[in-house]
Amino acid sequence: MNKINTDGIIFDLDGTVWDNTPIFAKAWTDACQKRGYDVVFTADRLKELFGQTMTDIADQSIPDESPERRYATLKACEEEEMLALYASPVDTFYPGLIDLIKGLSKRVNLYVVSNCQQGYIESFLERGNLEEYFTDFICYGDNGLGKADNIKLIVEKNNIKHPIYVGDIQKDKDACDQAGVDFVWASYGYDEKVDSYVAKIDSIGELNELIS
């Protein structure tokens, strides 16, 4: 494995550091059915949707001609998923994630950029007691910007000279291309293939060996 020299590792969330889709599938289904939609979400369906902005997800999955009602329904899904996550005792982190973060943070600054709603990154940090190990984070819910723009913002704000982004789907790779950042593919995540990457990891723990 060729080593990578970096002064900033930016992480995706879903499919890269944890997998909440079994918990969220029921929460999303309940939220939609409460609002009168005959929709059933599965973990696999959410894996297909996650990684996009929340409005894009709503447009693809909520059967309503009104954008306002679609987005309001997805907001309800977000609220239900957060309640379900806080109530769940299940450890949804990929094995070895916590130790990896603690170790890597001693060697390089760590960041998070996601297309998630506001508060979701905070829930990740709180659930793992990881607040002290990350330098900065930002998401679509904070400013309405997509992943490529937010990667650029994190890089510029923190003056990262040689950033890498760790993600699991093609859309992560596309965002990295737009942002001019090297992409490390977490092949254990939600996408079975991506068109290119500077390195591939088959488990989150392999990232420790990859960073010089």
Q: What is the DSSP letter of 89?
A: -
- Do 12 and 96 lie in one domain? The reply is yes
Residue 1 has pLDDT above 70, yes or no: no
The domain of 98 spans: 8-19+92-210
Instruction: Please state the pTM of the whole predicted model.
Output: 0.94
Percent of the chain with pLDDT over 90: 94
Residues 131-180 have pLDDT tens digits of: 999 999 999 999 999 999 999 999 999 999 999 999 999 999 999 999 99
How many separate domains does the chain show?
A: 2
3-class state of residue 58 by DSSP: helix
Cβ neighbours for 144, distance < 8 A, ≥ 6 positions apart: none
Taken in order 82, 14, 204, 181, the sign of the CA dihedral is negative
Residues 90-107 have pLDDT tens digits of: 999 999 999 999 999 999
pLDDT of residue 189: 97
Q: What angle do CA 110, 126, 174 make, to 5 degrees?
A: 45
51 CB-side CA count, 13 A: 24
- Of 1-5, 12-16, 23-27, 186-190, give the lowest mean pLDDT range: 1-5
Alpha carbons 178 and 98: distance in angstroms, whole number: 30
Contact criterion met (CB below 8 Å) for 173 and 195: yes
Residues 51-65 have pLDDT tens digits of: 888 899 999 999 888
User: Strand 163-167 and strand 8-11: pairing?
Assistant: parallel
In-domain check, residue 1:
no
pLDDT of residue 115: 94
Q: Last residue of a domain, which of 56, 87, 118?
A: 87
